[in-house]
Structure 1
């Protein structure tokens, strides 16, 4: 090919010069952007550390609060269990007293009833043997009067009376909870002595017995015993009926 005209060479040179300039500018822009990103990239780890440190402090605070709340819940639960146990204990004691399963101590009053002591030969005229001995209704009347007078516990002879006890007389002997006793019969009650005396004086069945005692010589004696312990009932309580009581 022949030589190119000089007029064509100059534009090409200018084009190459312009291309180099553009490439340099682009390279500079890339280098600047990279440097800027590098600087920003170097700042990010510092911000992340601060954020982690901040979150760690918050977590610690929340953990301490949670621990405090847990301890408070444990304390309240323990208080509730203690309170419930105390209530259950008191209820158990009340039930134990009610069924005679616990000994009772307090001021007591005793009532002793006895046969008149006549034989067939000495029996007063106009009276029968039944008129001069203690009967079941006499003993039961004394027991009922003492309960009415607010007795906390009652014992007949040496046995504690409970809800299932039955005072029964067979002939001139007492049959009580599987055992047989002969007169005199002693009923002992723990309670307010004044109230017990008043209940005995006001009971019509006991009043009738006193009248017979005066007429034929039956034994009737009431005494204050002072502080006395009545033992717990030693037998088994087998209730025939149960009632649900609303405690609300």
Structure 2
């Protein structure tokens, strides 16, 4: 069976789950993906080739944002299995990952209509 490597080079729901869990385990106080605020009960799933967060389809590129101590959060996250997973995605599939810190960040409130 022929497999197109480019087809596997998409960010999957499990990739975003790993990143979110890695951020929380690193001390993040709040996390959002493409403007969708995450909670402990948030479902990050795929359906029909789309990634859904809070039952809303998201489009790449995916932007994951987290609130926490900028330097401590970045340093702690770099030591997580999620960070190693992201590095593997970069190495194997060329998926771009950029980590930046900021002194201030506003995340959206949880959408009550989910």
Tell me the TM-score normalised to structure 2 length: 0.83
Task: Please give the alpha-carbon distance, in whole angstroms, between the structure 1 residues aligned to 2:50 and 2:80.
Answer: 24
From 120, 138, 151, the counterpart of 2:28: 151
From 4, 13, 25, the counterpart of 1:136: 13
Task: Please give the alpha-carbon distance, in whole angstroms, between the structure 2 residues aligned to 1:204 and 1:130.
Answer: 24
Task: Please give the alpha-carbon distance, in whole angstroms, between the structure 1 residues aligned to 2:51 and 2:95.
Answer: 16
**Which entry has the higher C-alpha Rg, 1 or 2?**
1
Distance 1:127 1:207, change over 3 A: farther
Distance 1:175 1:126, change over 3 A: closer
| Aligned counterpart, 2:43 | 166
Secondary structure of the structure 2 residue equivalent to 1:185 = coil
| Aligned counterpart, 1:228 | 105
Offset at 1:137? 1.6
Which consecutive unaligned segments of at least 5 residues does structure 2 have?
A: none
Offset at 1:181? 1.0
| Aligned counterpart, 1:205 | 82
Check conservation: 1:173, 1:183, Cα contact below 8 A. no
Q: How many residues align?
A: 113
CA RMSD of aligned residues (A): 2.3
